């Protein structure tokens, strides 16, 4: 029978928005201080996982919670299955939002909240897509399983745990990127560099504390430097002049001989650091014009000489590009420093196909050691690539084209989704071509019309994949 998938999605619009708003109200940022055996990623992420599984159970889907790391909801009967991988965790929501980040608000056809596009909105679209198949009583040759992770933004331990205790899907997509489809994703190298503090008493200007960023996969939008100096007024004037000349917003306060500088940048996803303004690096660039010594100088010098305004790794000597995924990128996402205790810088490096991993690590190690840093921790993901003529890709392209009427051009991405962990998986929506990607940014949103259209695409795609 001929099914009007868009009409079916539209019928469920009010319920979809109601259920999505409930999920968006949960501030499901990883907080290991509230970790328990039941909620390994923290209380709020556990609450979000419980929420989606309860929705699924009320709908009549079979559900299972996998030790708090992940959960799934499925419909149909078969040994193998089609998977949809979404995540309920979100990145923090710093900065000044037009409306509070965990109070979902609709303005001019857009739903604003942290997680609206990354990834709660697309995940709810997939849930309602499966609900459409169930409501219509459509026969499935393969069952369909909605898999919900809890740690996508901080290392994907959730999906690694899932694959340890459950069989992998036959075919799979993650609604966590762009339409028409991302068939190749960059890999990642995440490096934490550490520096010892200064033990001896130091005269002159001292960098007491410095901090910027709280997620490696975000360009930090704010930096704070606490400085002890015997020339506070001069330092304050120089900082104000610097901000004005650079077109940056900054604030300054004074307490006795201590000056606190706050500088604001532009937060974007760490996969495209060239599109943001790294507050940490901009602030350290200013500090480089002052006279510091010891570990203070080493911390500042490494940022200046190896990272400042260099999103492609040329100063580190790790620049590389190829035709499918483009250039390697470097995001300095987290800075922490204390004059006495020392500090660290965390790098999130996105790597294209055929990048020499060991060469990259060796070059970073050499540069770090030249500034008295050491590598404390390294972990990485490999690049991900599915051939363009794969039958799953053809099926997903067909579903997209039939709903939108648009050419289903294949895309690549610097972001790593759950798809990178599976053999037959791609990222499939939910951001449409030409639309603003507000993931990880202030005033994150999803267009409601696009949310409904994505639901229709997912419904048709899941039905056809189940018969592939």
- Residue 251: φ, ψ to 5°: -135, 155
Q: Which long-range contacts does 445-449 make (Cβ < 8 Å, 24+ apart)? A: 445/110, 445/111, 445/112, 445/113, 445/116, 445/117, 446/110, 446/111, 446/116, 446/117, 446/121, 446/122, 447/109, 447/110, 447/111, 448/13, 448/17, 448/106, 448/109, 448/110, 448/111, 449/109
Are the C-beta atoms of residues 137 and 8 closer than 8 Å to each other? no
Residue 434: which residues within 8 A CB-CB, separation 6 or more?
none
Q: Which long-range contacts does 251-260 make (Cβ < 8 Å, 24+ apart)? A: 257/228, 257/229, 257/230, 257/232, 258/208, 258/226, 258/227, 258/228, 259/226, 259/227, 259/228, 259/229, 259/232, 259/235, 260/224, 260/225, 260/226, 260/227
Give the active site residue among 89, 151, 172, 226: 89
Are the C-beta atoms of residues 181 and 394 closer than 8 Å to each other? no
Rg (CA), the chain: 24
DSSP per-residue string spanning 11-67: HTHHHHHHHHHHHHTS--B--GGG--SS-TT-HHHHHHHHHHHHHHHHHT-EEEEET
Q: What is the number of other CB atoms lying within 10 angstroms of the CB of residue 4?
A: 10
**CA 280, CA 277: separation in Å to the nearest integer?**
9
205: tokens are 């200007």
Q: Which residue has the tokens 């810088």?
A: 345
Are the C-beta atoms of residues 328 and 349 closer than 8 Å to each other? yes
67: tokens are 């030790």
Q: Where are the alpha helices (DSSP H) in 265-356?
A: 279-287, 294-306
Cis peptide bond upstream of 115, omega within 30: no
Q: Is 251 a catalytic residue?
A: no
**CA 207, CA 210: separation in Å to the nearest integer?**
7
User: HSE on the CB side for 238, CA within 13 Å?
Assistant: 13
Give the active site residue among 152, 185, 296, 447: 152
**CA 352, CA 148: separation in Å to the nearest integer?**
27
Q: Is 47 a catalytic residue?
A: no
Q: Of 432, 402, 408, 466, which Cα lies nearest the Cα of 4?
A: 402
Catalytic residue numbers, as ranges: 89, 152
């Amino acid at each position: 029978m001929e099914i009007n998938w868009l009409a079916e999605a539209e019928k469920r619009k009010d319920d979809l928005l109601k259920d999505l708003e409930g999920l968006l109200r949960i501030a499901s940022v990883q907080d290991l201080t509230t970790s328990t055996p039941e909620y390994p990623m923290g209380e709020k992420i556990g609450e979000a996982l419980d929420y989606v599984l309860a929705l699924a159970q009320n709908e009549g889907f079979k559900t299972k919670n996998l030790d708090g790391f992940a959960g799934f909801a499925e419909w149909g009967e078969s040994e193998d299955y089609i998977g949809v991988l979404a995540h309920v965790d979100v990145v923090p929501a710093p900065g000044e939002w037009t409306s509070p980040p965990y109070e979902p608000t609709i303005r001019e056809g857009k739903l604003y909240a942290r997680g609206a596009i990354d990834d709660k909105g697309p995940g709810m679209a997939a849930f309602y897509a499966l609900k459409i198949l169930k409501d219509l009583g459509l026969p499935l040759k393969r069952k369909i399983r909605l898999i919900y992770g809890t740690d996508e933004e901080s290392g994907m331990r959730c999906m690694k745990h899932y694959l340890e205790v459950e069989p992998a899907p036959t075919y799979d997509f993650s609604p966590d990127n762009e339409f028409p489809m991302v068939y190749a994703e960059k890999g990642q190298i995440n490096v934490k560099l550490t520096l010892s503090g200064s033990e001896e008493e130091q005269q002159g200007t001292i960098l007491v504390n410095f901090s910027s960023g709280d997620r490696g996969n975000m360009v930090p939008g704010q930096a704070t430097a606490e400085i002890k100096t015997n020339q506070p007024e001069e330092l304050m004037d120089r900082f104000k002049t610097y901000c004005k000349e650079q077109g940056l917003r900054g604030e300054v306060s004074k307490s006795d001989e201590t000056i606190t500088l706050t500088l604001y940048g532009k937060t974007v996803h760490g996969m495209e650091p060239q599109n943001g303004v790294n507050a940490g690096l901009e602030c350290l660039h200013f500090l480089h014009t002052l006279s510091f010594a010891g570990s203070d100088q080493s911390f500042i010098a490494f940022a200046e000489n190896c990272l400042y305004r260099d999103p492609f790794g040329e100063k580190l000597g790790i620049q590389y590009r190829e035709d499918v995924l483009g250039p390697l990128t470097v995001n300095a996402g987290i800075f922490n420093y204390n004059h006495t205790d020392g500090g660290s810088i965390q790098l999130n490096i996105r790597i294209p196909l055929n990048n020499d991993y060991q060469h990259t690590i060796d070059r970073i190690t050499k540069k770090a050691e030249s500034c008295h840093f050491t590598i404390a921790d390294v972990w990485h993901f490999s690049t991900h690539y599915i051939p363009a003529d794969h039958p799953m890709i053809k099926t997903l392209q067909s579903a997209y084209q039939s709903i939108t009427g648009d050419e289903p051009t294949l895309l690549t991405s610097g972001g790593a989704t759950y798809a990178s962990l599976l053999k037959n998986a791609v990222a499939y929506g939910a951001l449409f071509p030409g639309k603003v990607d507000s993931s990880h940014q202030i005033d994150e949103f999803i267009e409601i019309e696009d949310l409904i259209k994505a639901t229709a695409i997912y419904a048709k795609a899941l039905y056809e994949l189940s018969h592939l």
